[in-house]
Structure 1
């Protein structure tokens, strides 16, 4: 299947059919381009809300059911956090003192950034099921979870960021991997703006209300701010 790059309108449409940790995870994956294990294993202590950056130091191993250090041979990766991800709730006390999972190296730095209502890690299988249902409800064609990673890269490159810079943010060891996005830098800027368009206003979800944003248990991402913006800038 070819890579899919979402427009902002398409992403908004999908997010309207998500809530809780599944909505928060979608915003986190799109806004930071973390891999699944990096996002699921992200601890609060790795996020600097003042500088709006996060450090990738651990990753969640689904197979091993534990936290492992960021892959050896790669430098510590720091990723900026876009303004449309609200980190205000980082000031609230964590539900627990640690993540509750084994770390095969080092000590646990504290609670997870995102967790379920029971305090457990967000499971990939459950998230994928919820995401697929939201995609169908949004009627935006076929979209995979991994396409959120392609979307992040496409937005940056279409916004004028150099390929080498995007490659560092993606955690690519080889620049050849980033070259798959090179064609996006050659698109006319006016065409890009026309294709993306302004951010749509939040529309009511059938059977729901838009007056209150979804609750994100143990999490820190606000859908309300995301929907309120006229444009989303990940640069």
Structure 2
């Protein structure tokens, strides 16, 4: 064991490795930090309940960044001093905690285990906890939950056991969806909650381990060259002559548009937002919440202070810069809405009108991001480059586009074959 005292400076210098590892304090035996491959660092205390051969107790003291090194050291000293007197505080806590219900564990997780998550992600977690986890497993003791329980939980959600659609007030509705996708994502969350319990020393193992999930049903829709051409035409018409209204022939005369109003010209901010989504590969909120002071025209960058993956720099093509330079400046947001002091909420209605006019079937705004990636792959970009442009943190996220890189590879392969040209001449080609 190193003689180095575990300090803030020492913890800061610990770098993640391929597998998790422990760094121990050289001055306080039993006090250390656990470093995970994703960079997360958790303080721990470890001791034996008696002499050699007796069970080892280990307890998580808190995540670095939420808990300071000095706070963790003080907690470790208390546990180790008690163990020296023959007490097993961790064992007693573990026994008491194993009696807590899944619902109580969820409450604790939402209070102490989501410190590194974004507010929008926490909101989604709360929906899945209240909609699926509490109704099916909430009353069960966490120490009694087995892998079989998790498998049954997965299948119950997939079959729609927790699905519902009912009024919650004068105008609101509570809609909880089932299905395989929802089941898979909820079990992943539940596994994370049980991982928190293991890290806190409440459980020895995670009951989610070994449970096979349904395949992720995420669908990537890419626009073809013909569809891109139709979209370009529809955007140009939307901001110039306007899009034609469609209405029901049976509608009352007073509710039907007059000849002067049978076309609607859309705001340049709407068409500009759609062009930016396609030209940057950004997510919808990244464009709708974009402020003018985050646009660096000189260097051709968007400097986003926050995104799904944290701070993010977006590189801009000349085409994207041209779109930005031609947008009218109304307030601090690039994509102005009805209130210049607030970001636009969405683009659902105008996008649907544009998509219908361009005859695009089953195309979501998010599919413009997929199209950006697919065009990059078709141009011969590597997955690493595509991931960097999209702002992916994990190579696994970009791997969904791996099959798209086959075309440039095959073109290159054919070029090599033509250059080598050692294939057997066909009979019909012989003189």
Same fold (TM over 0.5): yes
User: Which residue in the other structure is 1:41 paired with?
Assistant: 289
Q: Residue 351 of structure 2: which of 128, 131, 136 is its match?
A: 131
* Distance (Å, rounded) in 2 between the aligned partners of 1:95 and 1:30: 22
Total equivalences in the alignment: 160
TM (norm. structure 1) is: 0.60
User: Distance between the aligned counterparts of 2:300 and 2:311, measured in 1?
Assistant: 16
Q: SS at the partner of 1:84?
A: helix
Deviations 1:65-85 (A, max 9, x none): xxxxx45xx563211112223
In the TM superposition, residue 181 of structure 1 has moved relative to its aligned partner by: 0.4
Larger Rg: 2
Residue equivalent to 1:219: none
Larger RCO: Structure 1 or Structure 2 (Cα < 8 Å, ≥ 6 residues apart)?
1
Show structure 2 runs of 5+ residues with no match.
1-217, 240-266, 412-431
Match for residue 145 of structure 1 among 365, 373, 377: 365
d(CA) in 1 for partners of 2:353, 2:283: 21
CA distance in 2, matches of 1:48, 1:28: 15
1:118 Cα deviation from its structure 2 partner: 4.6
Identify unmatched segments of 5+ residues in structure 1: 59-69, 97-110, 192-235
Q: CA deviation at 1:89?
A: 4.3
| Larger helix percent | 2
Quick one: distance in 2 between partners of 1:181 and 1:165?
A: 12
Equivalent pair of 1:3/1:147 in contact (CA under 8 Å): yes
List per-residue Cα deviations over 1:159-201 (Å, max 9, x = no partner). Answer: 111111211221222111111101111114898xxxxxxxxxx
Task: Note if contact 1:15-1:23 (Cα within 8 Å) is conserved in structure 2.
Answer: no
SS at match of 1:79: strand
Per the alignment, residue 4 of structure 1 pairs with 221
Candidates 88, 94, 103, aligned match of 2:325: 88
2:225 & 2:406 partners in 1: Cα distance?
20
Q: Secondary structure at the match of 1:16?
A: helix
Residues 158, 189 of structure 1: 8 Å contact kept: no
Aligned partner of 2:312 in structure 1 is 77
Distance in 1 between the 2:384 and 2:356 partners? 35
Change (3 A) 1:15 1:123: farther
Please tell me whether the aligned partners of residues 30 and 152 of structure 1 are also in contact (alpha carbons under 8 angstroms): yes
Show the counterpart of 1:50: 298
